[in-house]
């Protein structure tokens, strides 16, 4: 890493955030906050993500339960019925439905069933609507984590051109809303790109801050990036390799090519990933307070 290029480590920031949550949880009287994870099927990535979330929850004193549904025999209605039951359960503060769901289920329909105050992902239409209106809401974890990361490393966004290569409900849409807000860590000029964007390179080259989340490992090298830009890499892909695990993790950025060329870059792993999980713990604590109001 060249001296002029900063590594935006998410591990460090996440560690601070988790300590804050742990301390706050330890001061609560009564039962600890409780989050329920609903996972349909056993896709490797989903299993790994949910396990990570459970592990962090235990570390900060948050109780978590995992309910696994068979992808062959579970219907959308069965999942919705479970969400409705958890909405009514006073011992549960947070509900998270891990994406993706099988093609036979409508993710939006399922998450819109979650009570907004228990929606620790911040994906339901009420929380998304509040976010767009800049009203108090539970914010989606990955975008909120990116904002926290930029804040920690004093990366200004006001007046900057932020290019996001992702238009999903999980990253691109909510992140654009956060960056467009008036005030600190907002006031950016935001361009959202996607698979149908024409001449993507000519747009990413204009970014002061480039957010990558398209799942194309190592694709974005210096031909896509302005010299001195800040690169936030949300992509995380398993690339086959001859090691014990049989794969290595790569982001969308070509890290080796960019590290001496950009002003700052997040590593993969250890960048945005830990931030997402830390924000989920913060959101669970927030949900606990909303549920105990």
224 and 233 Cβ atoms separated by less than 8 Å:
no
Q: Per-residue x/- mask for ligand GUN, residues 160 to 199, rule CB under 6 A?
A: ----------x-----------------------------
CB closer to ligand GUN out of 149 and 225: 149
Q: Which residues pair with 169 in a beta bridge?
A: none
Closer residue to ligand GUN in complex, CB, 21/96 = 96
Residue 148 CA, chain-centre distance (Å), reads: 11
Beta-strand runs (E) in the chain: 6-7, 34-40, 63-69, 94-97, 161-165, 189-193, 209-212, 230-233, 237-240, 247-250, 264-265
Determine which residue in the list 9, 74, 98, 266 makes contact with ligand GUN, applying CB under 6 A: 98
CB of 73 to ligand GUN, least distance (A): 21
Which DSSP helix (H) or strand (E) runs through 289? Answer: helix 272-291
The set of catalytic residues is: 53, 98, 121
Is 233 a binder of ligand GUN (CB under 6 A)?
Answer: no
CA distance 24 to 177: 28
The secondary structure element, H or E, covering residue 260 is none
104, 118, 276 from 171: Cα distances, Å: 23, 20, 11
Closer of 232 and 264 to ligand GUN (Cβ) = 232
Angle at 172 between CA 171 and CA 173, to 5 degrees: 105
| 105 binding ligand GUN? (CB under 6 A) | no
Residue 225 vs 275, nearer CB to ligand GUN? 275
Among 121, 148, 233, 252, binds ligand GUN (CB under 6 A): 121
Considering only residues 41 to 80 of the shown chain, the ones binding ligand GUN according to CB under 6 A are none
Q: Which of residues 261-290 bind ligand GUN (CB under 6 A)?
A: 276
8 A C-beta contact, residue 188 and residue 156: no
Using CB under 6 A as the binding rule, whether residue 138 contacts ligand GUN is answered as no
C-beta of 202: minimal distance to ligand GUN in Å? 29
Measured between alpha carbons, how far is 73 from 164 in angstroms, rounded to an integer?
37
Q: Which is nearer to ligand GUN, 117 or 121 (CB)?
A: 121
CB of 170 to ligand GUN, least distance (A): 5
Phi, psi of 122, rounded to the nearest 5 degrees:
70, 25
- Establish if 142 lies at the interface with ligand GUN (CB under 6 A): yes
Report phi then psi at 165, rounded to 5: -100, 80
Q: How far is the CB of 79 from ligand GUN (least distance, A)?
A: 13
* Residues of the shown chain interacting with ligand GUN in the complex, contacts defined by CB under 6 A: 96-99, 121, 141-142, 170, 276
């Amino acid at each position: 890493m060249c001296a002029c290029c900063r590594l935006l480590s998410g591990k460090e920031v996440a560690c601070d955030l988790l300590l804050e949550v742990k301390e706050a949880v330890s001061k609560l009287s009564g039962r600890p906050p409780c989050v329920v994870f609903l996972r349909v099927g056993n896709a490797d990535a989903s299993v790994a993500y949910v396990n990570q979330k459970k592990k962090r929850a235990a570390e900060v004193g948050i109780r978590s339960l995992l309910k696994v549904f068979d992808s062959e025999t579970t219907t959308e209605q069965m999942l919705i019925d479970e969400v409705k039951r958890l909405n009514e359960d006073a011992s549960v503060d947070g509900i998270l439905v891990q994406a993706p769901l099988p093609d036979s289920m409508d993710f939006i329909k399922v998450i819109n069933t979650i009570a907004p105050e228990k929606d620790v992902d911040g994906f339901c239409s009420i929380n998304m609507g509040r976010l767009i209106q800049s009203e108090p809401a539970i914010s989606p974890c990955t975008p909120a984590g990116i904002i926290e990361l930029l804040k920690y490393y004093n990366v200004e966004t006001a007046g900057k051109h932020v290019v996001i290569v992702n238009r999903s409900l999980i990253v691109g849409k909510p992140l654009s809303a956060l960056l467009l807000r008036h005030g600190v860590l907002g006031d950016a000029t935001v361009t959202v790109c996607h698979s149908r964007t024409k001449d993507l390179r000519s747009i990413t080259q204009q970014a002061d801050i480039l957010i990558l989340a398209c799942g194309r490992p190592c694709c974005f090298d210096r031909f896509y990036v302005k010299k001195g830009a800040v690169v936030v890499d949300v992509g995380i892909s398993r690339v086959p390799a001859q090691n014990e695990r049989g794969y290595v993790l790569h982001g969308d950025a070509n890290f080796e090519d960019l590290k001496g060329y950009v002003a700052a870059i997040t590593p993969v792993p250890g960048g945005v990933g830990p931030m997402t999980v830390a924000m989920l713990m913060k959101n669970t604590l927030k949900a606990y307070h909303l549920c105990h109001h």
